[in-house]
């Protein structure tokens, strides 16, 4: 597998697969809100992949090329769309970092994690008041952090030297 192929695999089979992680509430959304779900999920997954690749790049310089290829595949071609896309990606990166850092902060972290989930869902039009559903949603994103790391490790083993 080349670095370009790895980038394509990460984009196609992870970042762009927005059907996974759909909370029950999303299935009841109208078409516009469902589209917001897909757009936001895609941005968050891309942010998560890029965060993980950058962290792992310290141990494997080949991942720098994967990052460049993935960014080229993912960023909009129109310059007028690139800046808003980059800003959304930066915000998603900060949000994921906030979730991960608060998740391990005892009871206070639990409250912040629930707040994180509710805020995320509210931005796409889902008013989630069920604590269990909000917690499950946040936990599913935390699971994504581990999943992405595993996916990248698997792909990296297949990279040609």
93 versus 15: the higher-pLDDT residue is: 93
Please give the helix or strand (H or E) that residue 46 lies within, else none. Answer: helix 31-57
What band does 36 get if pLDDT is binned at 50, 70 and 90?
confident
Exposed e or buried b per residue across 71-89, where buried means at least 16 C-beta atoms within 10 angstroms of its C-beta: eebbeeeeeeeeeeeeebb
Q: With pLDDT > 70 as the criterion, what percentage of the chain qualifies?
A: 89
Mean pLDDT rounded to a whole number for the chain: 87
Which two tokens mark 39? 């757009």
Confidence at residue 27, expressed as pLDDT on a 0 to 100 scale: 60
- pLDDT per residue as tens digits for the range 55-73: 999 999 999 999 999 999 9
CA angle at 143 for the pair 142 and 144, rounded to the nearest 5°: 90
DSSP state of 11: I
Confidence at residue 52, expressed as pLDDT on a 0 to 100 scale: 96
Examine the pLDDT at 30 and tell me if it is beyond 80.
Answer: no
Q: Which residues contact 108 (CB under 8 A, 6 or more apart)?
A: 102
- pLDDT per residue as tens digits for the range 94-136: 999 999 888 776 656 567 888 899 999 899 888 888 888 888 8
Q: With pLDDT > 90 as the criterion, what percentage of the chain qualifies?
A: 50
Average pLDDT of 31-38? Answer: 83
Average pLDDT of 8-35? Answer: 76
Residue ranges covered by each domain of the chain:
3-158
């Amino acid at each position: 597998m080349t670095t370009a192929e790895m980038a394509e695999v990460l984009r196609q089979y992870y970042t762009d697969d927005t059907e996974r992680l759909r909370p029950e509430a999303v299935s009841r959304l109208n078409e516009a809100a469902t589209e917001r779900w897909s757009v936001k999920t895609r941005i968050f997954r891309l942010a998560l992949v890029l965060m993980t690749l950058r962290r792992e790049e310290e141990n494997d310089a080949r991942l720098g090329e994967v990052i460049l290829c993935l960014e080229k595949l993912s960023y909009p071609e129109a310059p007028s769309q690139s800046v808003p896309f980059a800003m959304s990606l930066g915000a998603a990166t900060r949000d994921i970092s906030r979730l991960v850092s608060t998740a391990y902060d005892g009871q206070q972290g639990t409250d912040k994690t629930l707040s994180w989930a509710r805020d995320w869902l509210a931005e796409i039009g889902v008013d989630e008041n069920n604590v269990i559903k909000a917690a499950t949603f946040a936990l599913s994103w935390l699971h994504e952090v581990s999943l992405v790391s595993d996916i990248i490790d698997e792909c990296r083993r297949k990279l040609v030297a």
